[in-house]
Structure 1
């Protein structure tokens, strides 16, 4: 995260794209990350975000094309061959023919129908799409947990989200966490418009369009501690929904239902209990602890307008999540009634 190494062997215009910008002196008595390099913020941070977007695009394709798709194709083809073998045995056809010695076993049964091939290809593609989400959110949630663990904040006493504001300069891990998350959600907006539209396309687009400005504003105005807490809360659920979908596409129905149930409970706790506690703290604790003021020289940005805008965006996110939770409850009803889990939010194209 230190850009000293980059300056030694890269052209100056490249440095902001591959390292964190605006290094500064470590505070004399930092309340977090005492051994980290500290940074200010600025427009050059956008260069690092652009690089992260490109890296995420590459990693997404590597995850999908090199790992997820080959595995899903192998597993689903194996399942289809077994199914065909059992079906032929029941019908007295003796199963699949064994290929002559020296020839490879065909990837697909010779009597596969076009409909079966279409379903197989669809499941392979969807499995691969969800795999990147599981990989990213698992890694980023773990890193976010590390960041929040080292900050002097707690979900049990949220006034520490606001005490000692403004929280500048930023520790390297905090800045890296914020910029990579901003890059990811910006990348998600691009992906939403590149892939086939799902049932909840506009809800997802609205969610990301609110999230990205909220992250930029909280980063620029140094509301980073509440931002770090919100991001780690959001990421936890986003591991389990794509994991449930992946299990569904591999035809592991029981495991899919179990993963979806865990996802639903996690969503309720993180996004409708703890997140509401965060909103409550933003509404009441921030005003009780911080006086209104605008002093860019010392990084103090807490006016009535900023307060209303940030709280408003948090409430808007909660309203979107309430709509989604209603959809999740519909899926839960299907699980309880024995129909199996199917995500009505985004599983089918429009």
Structure 2
């Protein structure tokens, strides 16, 4: 037992308890930071810090390409972004009678005859890689433009001046923006164009292979691929300051990209759309709770985090376990003649693929369960602990100094 600030606290024992305590007290953890107490906003900016690589003066567009700084410089990503548009327009004006090769970067490719319901249909194409590459550039430009010109000025307006908090506020603002759009598009696609509404899991397998895709589904899938690839590159190239749960996030992104790639390749886009939706909607509420926390809206942040917990429970556990159950129990709804590995027919689900699908989804569920355990510890601590604000600080810039004093 020890006394601190007039409060008696019990020393926790055991390496696991200590690890969990460190995570809960870590303001930079991507979940724990949602309720970490904040130092009061101040009009005094934080002390100057050395400039990061992407903040140094540009050495030129070619140098930005080689060093990948274009992902952090809107001026360079804009040049990459606008060039195919100019070439597309130029081709359309000069040679409209020929197929425009630049259209493959801007729009989905490999269109098929319209469906019986009258909506556009597409199949996979190697040009999908070019589409994804182009929209990685688009997301880099949008993300950094919003960060520099919208979200950081907004944070400063509300008294946030420390650079670390400005970065985190901008990250969460962009997350609200992106996941709100992706969730809406995913729901729209499932409701209007797919038999799987609402999580009628038997249609993941009935009439497989689903190699024909509604145009909206193909765009939705490829944009998600571009988004997560861009996020993964930012993470592994350390273009941003790494979080304390860096390893967890890398593992999460690796599993996510693995699922995206293989589900698209083997014509499992119906189940892929369902998984996407379970992941995205909870991230909106998580990001909102972090924003309210940075703004020191104490009651609002707790309410938002409670809503986040409810949404997470339903989507990332109930619905994801429903999907796992479907993989395990409904896999045999695939027509017998299509339970083969035949590229020519677009049928890739030989019987052993059941385990290949189940395992990554199960690993993703284990990661989510670990985070879910933390979520409840953090939420209960926020609700029932009256000394929380006295015992923790979210002053990320002061963290190294605190450790030195200890």
TM-score range, shorter chain: 0.7 to 0.9
1:303 aligns with 2:345: no
1:330 aligns with 2:330: no
1:206-285 alignment runs, 5 A limit:
206-285=251-330
- 2:206/2:333 contact within 8 Å kept: no
Alignment partners' CA distance in 2, 1:35 and 1:55: 30
Q: TM-score, normalised by structure 1?
A: 0.79
Please point out which of 229, 239, 242 is paired with 1:186: 229
Alignment partners' CA distance in 1, 2:202 and 2:301: 39
Alignment partners' CA distance in 2, 1:123 and 1:212: 28
1:119-134 alignment runs, 5 A limit:
120-134=162-176
Deviation at 1:347, TM superposition (A): 10
Deviation at 1:338, TM superposition (A): 3.8
| Offset from partner CA, 1:175-194 (integer Å, 9 cap, x none) | 00000001111111122232
1:18 aligns with 2:106: yes
Alpha-carbon distance change, 258 to 347 in structure 1, aligned in 2, over 3 angstroms: farther
Corresponding residue SS for 1:142: helix
Please point out which of 114, 132, 136 is paired with 1:53: 136
Q: What do you get for the CA RMSD once the two structures are aligned?
A: 2.4
Deviation at 1:12, TM superposition (A): 4.4
- 1:124/1:249 contact within 8 Å kept: no
Alignment partners' CA distance in 2, 1:62 and 1:319: 35
Point out where structure 2 has 5 or more consecutive residues left out of the alignment. Answer: 1-87, 401-406
Please point out which of 212, 221, 229 is paired with 1:169: 212
Alignment partners' CA distance in 2, 1:305 and 1:289: 13
Please point out which of 149, 156, 159 is paired with 1:66: 149
Q: TM-score, normalised by structure 2?
A: 0.68
1:75 aligns with 2:129: no
Please point out which of 39, 48, 51 is paired with 2:122: 39
Alpha-carbon distance change, 149 to 44 in structure 1, aligned in 2, over 3 angstroms: same
Aligned to 2:16: none
1:102-141 alignment runs, 5 A limit:
120-141=162-183
Report the count of equivalent residues.
297
| Offset from partner CA, 1:189-222 (integer Å, 9 cap, x none) | 1222321111211111111111112111111111
